[in-house]
Structure formats: C-alpha cells, structure tokens
Amino acid sequence: DAASLALPDRVTLGMLVHELESDLAWRACDLSAWTADQLGGPQVELFQLARIQTVRTVEEGRALVARWSKIGAYIDARTDRLRRALEQGKVAPRATVERVIAQLDELLAKPSGAWALMSPRDAAHPDWPETEQKSFAAAVEQAVEGGARPAFSRYREALAREILPRARDHARAGLSHVPGGEACYARLIQASTSLPLSADEVHAVGLEQVARIRDEMKALGAKALGTSDFAEIQRRLREDEALAYATRDEVEAAAAAAVARARAALPAWVGALPRTPLVVKRMEAFEEKHSPPAFYREPAQDGSRPGTYFVNTYAPETRRRFESEVVAFHEAIPGHHVQVALAQELGEVPAFRKHANVMAFTEGWGLYSERLANEMGLYSSDLDRLGMLSADAWRACRLVLDTGIHAKGWSRAQAVTYMMENTILGEGVVVNEVDRYITWPGQALAYKVGQLEIQRLRKDAEQKLGPRFDIKGFHDALLGAGAVTLPILGDQIARWVASRSSVP
C-alpha cells in the first residue's frame, strides 16, 4: 500500500514504477534492433568509452582489455539484429543510414592508432611493472586492430549492401510507416514526458508556443537589430559574417567565459550548491562533425572524473556567437551540471535515483535554465538574448516536428522547411536536428514539456505565496530529490508551498 509508506519511500516507489514503465516502452519499440543511429550508435558510443573508463591499476587495465575484446562480437550482434528486423518489415530511414555509413567511412579511413579506442595503449603507467605495460599495450592493440576494426568494416558493408537499398525514403521517415509504430510512439511520448499526453495535444501546444516566441523575437529584434520583420531578423542573424566565430579558440573561450559568469552568480539563485567540479573541454574529433553545438557529460560517482561541458569547435565559421551563451547555460550552469551533480550528491536514497534520467525533468530544467539565466543577468547583450529566444523557438518547434514526423506523416523535407521558417538556426543545423528527431522518436518532446511544467509550478507558487516566495527555496525544493517525474515534482512543490504558507 503506497499510502502507508514514508514520503521518501513513496517517491522512490513512484520513480521505480516510472523507470520500469519507460524501460518497457523502449523495449517494446526495440528501436536499436532496426535503427541506424548517427548520434548514439556503436560508431559513437564505443568511442566514448575511452574517455569514461579510467585505467589506473593493472587490474583496471585488464578489465578494459576484457571489455575492448568484446567490441567485435557486440558490433556483429547489432548487425545481425538489423538483418532480422528486415524480415519483420522494420528498417531505418535512408537519411540516417547514409549518415552512419559516412561516419564509418571517416572512421575506417583513419589508422587504428588514431582511434580513441587505442588511446589507453599509449597512456603512461610508471607505477606498473614493465612487463604489464607491454602486455597491456599489446592486448589493447589486438582488441582494436584484430577485433573492433574488422567488425566496423563488416557493419559498414551490411549497411551499404543490405540495409540502404531497402531503407525508407525521406517521405516515410516517421514511426507511422513502421509496423506497430503508432502504438510505439504513444508509449514513447509518455516515457519521455512522464505525462499522459497524446500526439495531437503535444502538436497543438507546439504550434501555440512557436507563435508566442516569434512575437517575442520580433519585439527584441526591433530593439537589437532595428527591425521587427521576422524574415529580416532571420536573414541578419544567419548571414551576418561578423556574428560568426573565426577560430576554434574563440568558440571554446566564449563557452568558458559564460560558465565562469554563471558559476559566480549561482549562489544568489540556488541554496544548495553542487560540490562536484565542472570543466570545459573541446569535443573530440571522432564525434564533432555530427554532434550538436555542445553536450554535458556527468561526473563519475567515485569522484575520479568531474562534470564536463564539451563544446563543439568544428567549423567555427559556421557557429554563431549569439548561440554560445544560451547553450552553456543549458548544458553547464545553471543547467545540467547543477541538477546532475546535486542528484549524485543526494544522501540516503537508492542509487538508481541518483542517476535517474527523467527526460522531462532533466531537459525541462535545462531549458528552464536558459530563461533563468536571463533573470540572473548572465546574457551579454540583446543579441545573446535573441539567441535565447531562438533556442526556445527551436525546442517549441520540436513539439510540432516530432509529432508531425511520427504521428502525422510529415516528410523529412516538410520538417526541415517548418524549422527553417520558424527558427534562426542555419540549414545544416536544422537538417541535423530533423534527423535526430527521426532517429530518437519522442525524446525531443521532453525539453519544452518539462520547461512549461516547471514554469507553471513556479508561477503558481509565486501567486500563492506572494512575498513569502523565495527563489532559492523554490529551486532547492525543485532539485532536492533528484530527477523525478513531473507528477511527483508537482506534489513536491505543493508540499513546499504548504510549508512556506505557514511562515510568518
């Protein structure tokens, strides 16, 4: 009986049920069995292991070798699953298959010694016996050269010769064109948002939000650019070469400066501050070309790795200066790093809650943080605030595009056109984004749905508490139990409001 449980245990039960239901939804859809994933497939995820798995002792070195030695079999198993899915009428869209083939071509064109998987071989371990160092280096080389590389080559050939000829064309990119896709998508919406929303409801909210944010951009455009014409605002921000970066160093420096300002301002807005450090690094070469402008990597639970904000410095001339700050505030501070680090630092709660990734909460907080940064005075100029609005419009478009592609039969081209018409993003970024929504159905809905719910809860608390409302207390209440579902969060904030109501 859930009602008989203590409050922390009720939260844990609710979270456990959500996690299991989400896992069942993803398993029922079984996307990994038939998709070609340019964002998280083996050609990406396996190379991320080299920077995540630490090797300090001989025993840890042997564990890495054991793991690396299984990479070939893992890739072959993924390839076999694609073949079996074909027999069931399930196949990836052409756009994503072509992207993965291109990634594999780039990978296989490099010598194995340049692969991130080989980097542990060359790391210095002066405290190891010389025989162990030599044995470790040889074993890593054999696992990569003799196992992983041939398997990646086989994977590439299977995609090109067997999957691509039968891949879905651009007009049939969504789940509605896959057997069982409609039911699958309905479950993924709930798994991603933690709310019982229909595709039609989400689509309608998206259309309303896109229109509202466009009006905000027109008003700010008049102030920052001297025009309220949306098409002219788009043209200026997309085409003015002075708004682009010139070097990779500039991109990285701007990200680091934004994070430093946010770190200094945070204590006035959040009471419980994370103890875990955050560092800013450039994205690595193997992933930068096909990756978003930046991403956050959570810290190791044992403290061996800090939280890391990876910034994409690839082709700096294509990266707009006014987009840098908003991304930093979302991914790093006050966004993901604050939320994730605080969750990992929770005391007596089950481990799974410290690492829970309720997307509507984590990404909702990230998007909420973009607007919060404006309240904190972190944006450098009105142009940077236009970048904030552009980012918000981008996430609002996701509600329209994700549901359009997967529930309403939108083509890839239709989705690209809509996003080009309603954001400031360049065409290359837009195409990457649309292909992301095609690859990860439902995931992109979490951002805006979560942000809107957090904003609603804050507005309700402000109205009920009046002068008793405390922004630091609100944020502590919001973040204090880790990532939770939106219904659990609503209960959490309601209890905080009730407790503040009794304060004289």
Q: Is 125 left (phi over 0), alpha (psi -120 to 50) or beta?
A: beta
Tens of pLDDT, residues 304-323: 899 999 999 999 998 999 99
Verify that 34 and 71 share a domain, yes or no. Answer: yes
CA atoms of 481 and 488, how far apart (whole Å):
10
Give the end of a domain, one of 141, 168, 195. 168
Which pLDDT band holds residue 124 (cuts at 50, 70, 90)? Answer: confident
Asked which of 157-171, 279-293, 349-363, 442-456 is least confident by mean pLDDT, the reply is: 279-293
Q: Which residues contact 69 (CB under 8 A, 6 or more apart)?
A: 139, 143, 147
Verify that 53 and 146 share a domain, yes or no. Answer: yes
- 3-class state of residue 329 by DSSP: helix
Tokens coding 240: 């003015």
With respect to residue 354, please indicate whether it lies within any of the assigned structural domains. yes
Task: Report which residue type is found at 27.
Answer: R
CA atoms of 187 and 234, how far apart (whole Å):
36
**What are the strands of the beta sheet with 307-311, ordered from one edge?**
278-282, 307-311, 294-297
Give the end of a domain, one of 138, 168, 198. 168
Verify that 309 and 222 share a domain, yes or no. Answer: yes
Mean pLDDT of 129-156: 97
- 3-class state of residue 282 by DSSP: strand
With respect to residue 325, please indicate whether it lies within any of the assigned structural domains. yes
Verify that 219 and 133 share a domain, yes or no. Answer: no
Tens of pLDDT, residues 482-503: 999 999 999 999 999 999 988 7
Does the N-terminal peptide bond of residue 334 adopt cis geometry, omega within 30 degrees of 0? yes
Q: Which domain holds residue 367?
A: 186-448
With respect to residue 475, please indicate whether it lies within any of the assigned structural domains. no
With respect to residue 298, please indicate whether it lies within any of the assigned structural domains. yes
Write down the residue that tokens 């959500």 correspond to.
18
Tokens coding 433: 């984004």
Which pLDDT band holds residue 291 (cuts at 50, 70, 90)? Answer: confident
With respect to residue 13, please indicate whether it lies within any of the assigned structural domains. no
The number of angstroms, rounded, from the C-alpha of 223 to the middle of its chain's C-alpha atoms is 32
CA atoms of 409 and 414, how far apart (whole Å):
10
Which pLDDT score is estimated for 155? 98
Tens of pLDDT, residues 396-419: 999 999 999 999 999 999 999 999
Give the end of a domain, one of 136, 168, 200. 168
Tens of pLDDT, residues 86-101: 999 999 999 999 999 9
With respect to residue 501, please indicate whether it lies within any of the assigned structural domains. no
Verify that 35 and 93 share a domain, yes or no. Answer: yes
Q: What is the 3-state secondary structure (H, E, C) of 29-79?
A: HCHHHCCCCCCCCHHHHHHHHHHHCCCCCHHHHHHHHHHHCCHHHHHHHHH
Verify that 39 and 114 share a domain, yes or no. Answer: yes
Mean pLDDT of 58-64: 97
Verify that 224 and 136 share a domain, yes or no. Answer: no
Q: In Å, how far are 75, 133, 145, 179, 357 from 62, measured between CA atoms?
A: 21, 11, 17, 43, 30
Tens of pLDDT, residues 443-461: 999 999 999 999 999 999 9
Tens of pLDDT, residues 464-486: 999 999 999 999 999 999 999 99
With a pLDDT cut of 90, the percent of the chain lying above it is 88
pLDDT above 90 for 348: no
With respect to residue 468, please indicate whether it lies within any of the assigned structural domains. no
Verify that 333 and 387 share a domain, yes or no. Answer: yes
Quick one: which of 482, 473, 479, 489 has its CA closest to 271?
A: 473
Verify that 130 and 206 share a domain, yes or no. Answer: no
Verify that 421 and 282 share a domain, yes or no. Answer: yes
- 3-class state of residue 291 by DSSP: coil
| C-alpha dihedral (323, 326, 330, 335), degrees to nearest 10 | 160
Quick one: which of 290, 360, 296 has its CA closest to 41?
A: 290
CB of 387 closer than 8 Å to CB of 325: yes
Tokens coding 502: 């009794």
Q: Which residues contact 134 (CB under 8 A, 6 or more apart)?
A: none
Which pLDDT score is estimated for 6? 87
CA atoms of 238 and 320, how far apart (whole Å):
8
Q: What is the CA radius of gyration of the chain?
A: 23
Tens of pLDDT, residues 66-91: 999 999 999 999 999 999 999 999 99
Mean pLDDT of 230-236: 96
Which pLDDT score is estimated for 26? 87
Q: How many domains does the chain have?
A: 2
What does pTM read for this prediction? 0.89
CA atoms of 92 and 100, how far apart (whole Å):
11
CA atoms of 36 and 42, how far apart (whole Å):
10
With respect to residue 261, please indicate whether it lies within any of the assigned structural domains. yes
DSSP bridge pairs for 308: 279, 297
Average pLDDT value over all residues in the chain: 95
Verify that 162 and 192 share a domain, yes or no. Answer: no
CA atoms of 324 and 80, how far apart (whole Å):
41
Verify that 159 and 274 share a domain, yes or no. Answer: no
Which pLDDT score is estimated for 285? 84
Which pLDDT band holds residue 2 (cuts at 50, 70, 90)? Answer: confident
Which pLDDT score is estimated for 288? 85
